[in-house]
Chains A and B, each alone.
Chain A
């Protein structure tokens, strides 16, 4: 996967044939949103993405069972499934891994079947085909703490007897009951110790294991028979469903209200932009002052010379100019985290279905599009939950129009430098936030319009049905939100420490060679002036042109590039980056630049993931050309309009 957004380290596992009675690989199987990835993170100590909506995990993830001291065993996390049919791309992945047909992933020797105990009666339906696979299986009733707190009950011993496999209650979020997994694996993985699995007294509290007997499975492949079987079992095991979550109903009563629902959605979006400015901007400015202060201090200690120039004017200015946006990016991710963990995302998809339908997609495509506000790469992966292939491709092609967090630095920089901080609706909503919001809207409208174009031309298809499970609301935990922020911060810092660092060093060198020339006469200056005629009508100078070139690697690189170039220019060296830009660009050029960034596909990670997900270079090539042309034309229009009609 790309460097941009993957925070989970995966491991290489040697593929060996299955050996009867020996367990080396264990798979996590279960319906969507039953908590498999949360459990995976507990058991492996890794940080696979988790959130509260079905379809978060769209491909298999492999890790070692280090969390419970069994690093010799491999655990595979799988996308959620309802049955063993491959209805969508993510389900196909799960089913292929289970059957041992996925190249590069070992066939599982045992299964941990994770079921949400809040809706056990339905979730048990999946137990039928999974048990039918004939692998050693442990059934885990997840969220059992919640079930019991809400007055639910189930007789695990009776359930184990009915299913013919051991059953345990756990809570993956709290890490409760996980020793049952250790016991199961120790017994099954080591054939010398009590291989048949009759429970010892010590195990009995944690792990309800069946006494040998005949188990009846329903007719395979027949959902109706699965349901009858599951219903029968839940009745015989005295399953008492917990009281339904009244809060979910009440909250939905407001958030899905005819009038309030959409209004609240818009109000939340406004609030986010205002917060990013009113809280994020001072944080960023303060952070920037600290970074610059430190740079100046170090520079003064070193005394003038080419080393000081490289380290301070080149590297420090370049890297710091991107780093200052960390607070704002974290604020944005905090908001996205709350959206995803609370369960609201699925409701947003429901509200958006009507709009999505008018452009030929369905509400389910809205979930990847919303997560593209963080980054297009995981969003494009997330399209695997879209059942219809043409709908899925259309969503992949338009996802990069959504304003990802990598655009935030250049947007913030240009807006802070060129747009006055005038209030529009009192202190609630200012001009800067309004410009920022319109850039987000611009990206969204471009995505919808392009999707409509695609769906009415090359990707025409009859409308696919909309089937979406709505999760119950959950209060996002401080732990999971802070883990997200830490992970995101790391990705951002790593990017600044690698790609941006490398680019700034190369740029600094190129802007000082040949020696004893000014910036305009340097290698980089000549390249810049060579391309300047092409971008002049857009209101860009040659430094911006260089930024456009370097930002093909990743969008935020342009800010580092500008930091280095303006730092290398004696005329602007003493100014801050914002002041330097004001000195050198018109309002038209600045706005044209952000509009260019709203449309252009400047991200190698996205291009690579589109290639992978569509399995062809044709689609990413089409996407790149289309978005670049659109960006150029739109930027040209913006600059010319502002040039001729404003002021």
Chain B
């Protein structure tokens, strides 16, 4: 599927559909660097936890930004739909994301 998402963080107006298929890289949420943005691809967690996270907004196509790490390096604070939530590395490892790489030709 072609990535069509809300991209206001990239300076694109809400609702505008943009084809970014060439610029995405598959990754795990736990591997994203601070300040980068990923689009949730899939979750692989025990049923209840997965359901809970999805109700918080961690559903496929949701945009997640890595905000900062706790002083001890873990957990990490993520921003999703305008709010911040902290997850441990163990949990973030189970969330597959597409990482957006800014085209260098701009």
Contacts and interface: CB of A to CB of B under 8 A. Distances in A.
Interface string A493-505: 0000000000000
Contacts of A157: none
B74 A353 contact: yes
Interface in A349-372: 350-351, 353-354, 357, 362-363
A203 interface: no
A467 B56 contact: yes
Given A354-B72, A469-B85, 16 more contacts: A85-B52, A87-B48, A87-B51, A119-B81, A122-B83, A126-B55, A226-B55, A256-B77, A257-B71, A351-B70, A357-B88, A362-B88, A465-B49, A468-B75, A469-B83, A470-B85
A355 to B, nearest CB: 8
B1 to A, nearest CB: 14
Interface in B65-79: 67-68, 70-72, 74-75, 77
Interface residues of B, number: 37
A429 interface: no
Given A244-B82, A466-B91, A470-B86, A223 B51 contact: yes
A227 B77 contact: no
A353 B75 contact: yes
A186 interface: no
B90 interface: yes
A362 B91 CA distance: 13
Interface of B: 6, 8, 14-15, 45, 48-49, 51-57, 59-62, 67-68, 70-72, 74-75, 77, 80-88, 90-91
Given A121-B82, A258-B71, A351-B70, A465 B77 contact: no
A131 interface: no
B82 A467 contact: no
A259 B14 CA distance: 38
B70 to A, nearest CB: 5
A305 B91 CA distance: 73
A482 interface: no
A521 interface: no
Interface string A175-198: 000000000000000000000000
A252 B74 contact: no
Contacts of B14: 235
B71 A122 contact: no
B54 A466 contact: no
B55 A83 contact: yes
B90 A354 contact: no
A640 B53 CA distance: 54
Contacts of A353: 70, 72, 74-75, 86, 88
A353 B89 CA distance: 12
Interface string A221-261: 00110111001000100000100100001001100111101
9 contacts: A83-B55, A249-B67, A256-B77, A350-B77, A354-B70, A387-B52, A465-B45, A467-B49, A468-B75
Contacts of A231: 6
Contacts of A466: 75, 86-88, 91
A468 B62 CA distance: 18
Given A85-B52, A465-B90, A227 B85 contact: no
A262 B72 CA distance: 9
B87 A467 contact: yes
A256 B8 CA distance: 27
A228 B54 CA distance: 12
B52 A363 contact: no
Contacts of B52: 82-83, 85, 87, 387, 467
Interface residues on A, range: 35 or more
A629 B52 CA distance: 41
Contacts of B54: 223-224
Contacts of B68: 252-253, 256
What 9 A-B pairs are tightest by C-beta distance, nearest first? A122-B81, A83-B55, A223-B54, A354-B72, A82-B55, A470-B84, A119-B82, A224-B59, A261-B71
A226 B57 CA distance: 9
A350 B86 contact: yes
B71 A351 contact: yes
A118 interface: yes
Contacts of A468: 75, 85-86
Nearest to B57: A122
A87 B45 CA distance: 14
Given A82-B52, A87-B48, A227 B71 contact: no
Contacts of A470: 77, 83-86
Interface string A434-471: 00000000000000000000000000000101111110
A227 B62 contact: yes
A85 B49 CA distance: 11
A545 B3 CA distance: 73
A350 B67 CA distance: 14
Contacts of A226: 55
B59 A469 contact: no
Contacts of A154: none
A319 B55 CA distance: 52
A463 B49 CA distance: 13
A337 B52 CA distance: 30
A313 B82 CA distance: 62
Contacts of A122: 56-57, 80-83
Contacts of B8: 241
A477 B70 CA distance: 28
A125 interface: yes
Contacts of A351: 70-72
B51 to A, nearest CB: 6
B84 A469 contact: yes
Given A118-B82, A121-B82, A244-B82, A469 B88 contact: no
A463 to B, nearest CB: 8
Contacts of B62: 227
Contacts of A463: 90
Given A122-B57, A353-B75, A363-B75, A467 B51 contact: no
A467 B85 CA distance: 7
Contacts of A465: 45, 49, 87-88, 90-91
Contact of B75 (A244, A259, A350): A350
A349 to B, nearest CB: 8
Nearest to A244: B82
Of A122, A387, A465, most B-chain CB atoms within 10 Å: A465
Interface string A31-52: 0000000000000000000000
Contact of B56 (A228, A235, A253, A469): A469
